[in-house]
Structure 1
Amino acid sequence: MMTGVLAAEDAALIRRCAADSERTGMLAAPVQELIHQRGWLRMFAPESMGGAELALPQGVRLEEALSAADGSTGWTVTLCAGAGWFTGFLSPELARGIVATPRVCLGGSGAPSGYADIDGDGYRLSGRWNFATGAPMTTHFTMNAVIRQDGAPLLDEAGKPRIRAFVVPAAQVRIEENWHAIGLVATASHTFSLDKVRVDASHAFDLVPGAAKEAGPLYHFPFMSLAFVTLAANISGMALNFIGQAREIIGRRHHHITQQPLAELPQVQQALARGPRELDEARTRFYQLLDAAWDQSCRGEHPGAAADHELQRASLDMVDTARRAVDELYPLCGLAAADRRCDSDIARAWRDLHTATQHALMLPFSA
C-alpha cells in the first residue's frame, strides 16, 4: 500500500541521478523506472480504476519529500499525478483503460490555448499548449480548449467562452522540444500541439463541483486548493534541500579577511536560524490547514470559500517564506551556489526553486 513516506533508499537513488537527469534534459531512466515501480503517477487515480486514491495530505507530504530529493523529480511526479487525478472525472470505462496503460503518465496544460470544434457526437481539437511537464514520459495529454460551433465560440451563462478539458493519447500529439528554463530542467516541460484531432465526447470533462464520477473525498476536494497545496509543497521541499546543503557549505567556509569560521559570525548564525525557523512555522500552519480541510472533506463537508482562501493563502505564504529563507542564505554559500554545472547540487536546488516560483499560481497576490 502506498504511503506518504519516501523511503531513504528511493531518495538516495533520486539524488544520485539528479545530475544525469539535468544533463540529458529529462528524468534519468532509473528514476523513471522507480516512479513507475512505486506507482506514484497513479497516487491520485481512483482505486476502483486501479489507482492508489491516496489521501491528499499523504500525497502532498510525499511530493514535498520527492522535491527535497530532487526538484525535477518532485515537480514531474506532482504535475503528472495531478493530471492522473482527472481520471476521477472521466467515464469509468475510459478512466479504467487509461489507468491500466503500461507506464501510464498523464500530463498537459491548463491554459485554454486551443479550440474544440463540435463535430457530430465528438470534437476536433486544434491548438498549441505550453509547459507540459514530463512530456517525454506522457502517455496521455490533457488540455483545456474553447468550445466552438461552426467556428464561433459557445458562451457560458456569464457570457464568456465555454471551456472544457480533454484527454487524448500521446500518439495524437506533436511535441516541440522547447523547454529552456534555468531550473527544473529535467521536467522536460515542452510544448505540444494538435491539428484537427477528432475525439469522442467521452474524452471531454469538467473539473467543477458535481462533475466527479467517483464518490471519494479526493474528487470532491476543491481543484484550485488541490493545485495550490501540491505546488507549494514542491517549493517547500526544494527550499529544505537548499537549506540542508547551505548549512554544510557555510560550515566549511571562513571569512576571507579574518579567517574566522563563517558559521561563528553572529549575523550568519541569525540567518541560519531565522529562515529555517520561519519556514518550519509556515509549514506547520500549512499542514494544519490542509489536514483540517481534508478531514472536513472526508466527512462530506465542504470547508467553504473562506477556508479555501485561507488554505491557498497559507500555501502562498509558505512559498514566499521558502524563497526568502533560500535567498538569505544564498550569498553566504559563495560561488558553489552559482555553479552552472549539472553536478552542483546546491546550485541546481536554487535554480529549481526559482523556476518553480514562476508558476502563475505562485504569484504572491494570486489568492
Structure 2
Amino acid sequence: MTRAPIRARTGQGGVGAAPGEPPPGPVSSTGAAPGNRTGTPSGDGSDSGCNRGSDGGSDGGSDAVLAGLLARAAELRPLLRAEQQATEDRGTYSPETHDAFWEAGFYRMLQPRRFGGLELGVPAFYRLIAEVARGCPSTAWCLCLGAGHALQVGSYFSERAQREIFGLHGQLVSPASGNGQNTVIERVPGGYKVSGKWRYCSGVPYSTHFMGFGTFPGVEPDAPDRFCWFVVPGGDYTILDDWGGIIGMKGSGSNSVVLDGAFVPDHFAVDCTWFDESAGPTAGSELHGNPVYGGTFEGFAEGEIAAITAGTAMAAVDEYVRIITTSTVPHHAETVLRAEHPDYQRWLGMGLAWADAAAAISVRGGQLYEEYARLSVEGSDPFSRDKGARLNDMYFASEQLAYDAVGLLLRNSSSSAAADGQAMQRYFRDMVATCTRADQLERMAAAAAGAYLRSLAAT
C-alpha cells in the first residue's frame, strides 16, 4: 500500500515529514489519491440499513456501527496522544494514523450508503470527531474537515457527479475553502478552467479531492455569473508547504491549494444556493431517500469545530486528572494529593461540567440539523437562514464553554503544565487558535438576531 502526505515540499524537513526524516513513501507535488486503496474498508455497516437520524431514531445496526467506530477511536487515543508533538512538527497526522482511519471507515461516516459509505448522520459524526479530538485536537481537525464535506457532495451534486467522486477511491477525503485569491475561472467546452490559490484547506494532506467556491461564468453566452462550489480530483492541484506558523492547531493540515488551469466539468460545479438556506427536496435527499442530505452548509460547518473543541476540553480534563492524581498541594502544611483537596476537586468538577455541556450542545445541534432538514425536504418548513444562523451560534456557545474549561484547568494545574511540549499547554494553544478565527460569536451573533427578528415579523 502506497501512502504519503500529499503536498509540495520546499527544502529539507518540509511538513510532509518530521525534520530530518525522509518522506514516508513517494511524495507528489500535486494532490493525488493516498495510495491504491480500493474495495470496502472494515465496518461497512452493510447490515445497518439507512440511518434516519443518528442519536435520535437510528436503527440498531447503525447504533452498533457507531459504537464500533467510537470504540476504535478510543483505542487509538494513546497513540494519538503519543504522536501529538510529531503531528505538530510535520503539520499533520502520520501515514499510519491515516491508514487506521481509512481502514476503520472514519472517512465514510457521512458518505451515502449508495456509494459505499456508512451514512450515519450528523450527530454521530460529531461524536466521533470529539472522541478523536480527545486524543489529539489537531488530528481531529484534519480528519473532520477532510471527511465532513461528504455531506455536501451527497446533498447537492448530481448522481453522476457523486458516482464519480465517491467512486474514485471508495472514500472521500476533501477539504473545502472559499478563501480564493487571484482566481481566474473561464468557460471552456464542457466545463471550466480554474486557476487560483485557496488558503486554509484543512484536511488536504491525505486528500482525494479538493472543493472550492468561486464566481463562475454562466453556462450560456451572456448568462449571469454563478456562485458555485466545485470539485477537483487529486492530481489536478498542488498543495503548498505553508502551514504550521500559528499558535495552535499546528497539525491540522490546513495548507493552501493552487490550481493552474484545472478542468472542472459542468457536473462538478453546482450553484451555491444551499449555503445558508434550503427549501424542499435536494438532489441528494431524493437520490438517497434520506433527509440528512437536505440541510444547509451553515447549519453544519461550525458544528464540526464545536465537536473538535468539545473533545479538546475532555482531553484537558484527562490531563488535569493526571496532574492532580500525581502531585501534591503546594504550600500545604501536610502532604496531600491535589485530587483529595476540595479546591482541585471543584476546578475539576467545573471543567468537567463545561466539557460535558459543550459536547451535549454539539450533538444537539446535529440532531436539530437533521430535524430541520427533514422538515424542509418534506415541504413542511424550509431550512431557513434564521435556523442556520441560530445553529451556528449554538456551536459558538459550545466552543466558548470548551475554551473556558481548558483555560480554567490550565490556570489551576501548575507552571510546569504550561511549559513547551506539555499537553495542557498544547490544548490551550489549540483553543486559542480556534477562537481567533474570523468567524466568531461576537461577529456572527448580530446576523442571527437580525434573521430571528425578521422571522418574527413575518409571522
TM-score range (shorter-chain normalised) is: 0.7 to 0.9
Question: CA separation in 1, counterparts of 2:386 and 2:265?
Answer: 38
Q: What does residue range 83-232 of structure 1 map to in structure 2 within 5 Å?
A: 83-88=149-154, 89-102=156-169, 104-113=172-181, 114-148=183-217, 162-180=226-244, 181-207=246-272, 208=274, 209=278, 212-215=283-286, 216-232=290-306
Answer yes or no: is the 8 Å Cα contact 1:67–1:235 preserved in 2: yes
CA displacement at 1:109 relative to structure 2: 1.1
Question: CA separation in 2, counterparts of 1:187 and 1:288?
Answer: 25
For 1:23, which of 74, 83, 89 is the aligned residue?
89
Question: CA separation in 2, counterparts of 1:285 and 1:346?
Answer: 23
Answer yes or no: is the 8 Å Cα contact 2:179–2:200 preserved in 1: no
For 1:73, which of 113, 116, 139 is the aligned residue?
139
Answer yes or no: is the 8 Å Cα contact 2:361–2:395 preserved in 1: no
| Corresponding residue of 1:315 | 395
For 1:52, which of 98, 118, 126 is the aligned residue?
118
Greater percentage in helix: 1
CA displacement at 1:348 relative to structure 2: 2.6
| Corresponding residue of 2:316 | 242
* Alignment CA distance shift 1:285-1:84 (3 Å): closer
Answer yes or no: is the 8 Å Cα contact 2:354–2:404 preserved in 1: no
Give the number of equivalent residue pairs.
Answer: 359
TM-superposition CA deviations, 1:119-176 (whole Å, max 9, x none): 2331111111111112221121111112247xxx9866xxxxx421111122111211
| Corresponding residue of 2:127 | 61
SS of match in other structure, 1:143: strand
The reply on whether 1:272 has 2:352 as its aligned counterpart is no
| Corresponding residue of 2:427 | 349
* Alignment CA distance shift 1:142-1:340 (3 Å): same
CA displacement at 1:318 relative to structure 2: 1.0
Answer yes or no: is the 8 Å Cα contact 1:250–1:332 preserved in 2: no
For 2:106, which of 23, 28, 40 is the aligned residue?
40
SS of match in other structure, 1:361: coil
* Alignment CA distance shift 1:101-1:17 (3 Å): farther
SS of match in other structure, 2:118: coil
TM-score (norm 1): 0.86
Question: CA separation in 1, counterparts of 2:101 and 2:83?
Answer: 13
* Alignment CA distance shift 1:64-1:10 (3 Å): same
CA displacement at 1:177 relative to structure 2: 0.6
Does 1 or 2 have the higher relative contact order (CA < 8 Å, sep 6+)?
1
Question: CA separation in 1, counterparts of 2:315 and 2:112?
Answer: 31
Question: CA separation in 1, counterparts of 2:228 and 2:384?
Answer: 24
Q: Which sections of structure 1, spanning at least 5 residues, go unmatched?
A: 157-161
* Alignment CA distance shift 1:283-1:187 (3 Å): closer
CA displacement at 1:214 relative to structure 2: 4.0
CA displacement at 1:50 relative to structure 2: 1.8
* Alignment CA distance shift 1:29-1:289 (3 Å): closer
Answer yes or no: is the 8 Å Cα contact 1:112–1:163 preserved in 2: no
Question: CA separation in 2, counterparts of 1:226 and 1:22?
Answer: 27
**Farther-moved stretch of structure 1 (332-341 vs 44-53):** 332-341
TM-superposition CA deviations, 1:205-229 (whole Å, max 9, x none): 2342355344221221221111122
CA displacement at 1:289 relative to structure 2: 4.7
Question: CA separation in 1, counterparts of 2:172 and 2:302?
Answer: 24
**Farther-moved stretch of structure 1 (3-12 vs 260-269):** 260-269
Q: Which sections of structure 2, spanning at least 5 residues, go unmatched?
A: 1-44, 46-64, 446-459
SS of match in other structure, 2:444: coil
SS of match in other structure, 1:31: helix
**Farther-moved stretch of structure 1 (304-313 vs 223-232):** 304-313
**Farther-moved stretch of structure 1 (301-310 vs 329-338):** 301-310
The reply on whether 1:281 has 2:352 as its aligned counterpart is no
Answer yes or no: is the 8 Å Cα contact 2:406–2:427 preserved in 1: no
* Alignment CA distance shift 1:34-1:334 (3 Å): same
| Corresponding residue of 1:159 | none
CA displacement at 1:40 relative to structure 2: 1.6
Answer yes or no: is the 8 Å Cα contact 1:50–1:96 preserved in 2: no
Answer yes or no: is the 8 Å Cα contact 2:397–2:441 preserved in 1: no
- The percentage of aligned residue pairs carrying the same residue is 25
For 1:6, which of 70, 83, 86 is the aligned residue?
70
Question: CA separation in 1, counterparts of 2:309 and 2:444?
Answer: 16
CA displacement at 1:275 relative to structure 2: 3.2
For 1:335, which of 386, 403, 415 is the aligned residue?
415
Q: What does residue range 351-366 of structure 1 map to in structure 2 within 5 Å?
A: 351-366=429-444
Question: CA separation in 2, counterparts of 1:108 and 1:291?
Answer: 23
Answer yes or no: is the 8 Å Cα contact 2:309–2:431 preserved in 1: yes
| Corresponding residue of 2:19 | none
* Alignment CA distance shift 1:105-1:200 (3 Å): same
CA displacement at 1:305 relative to structure 2: 4.5
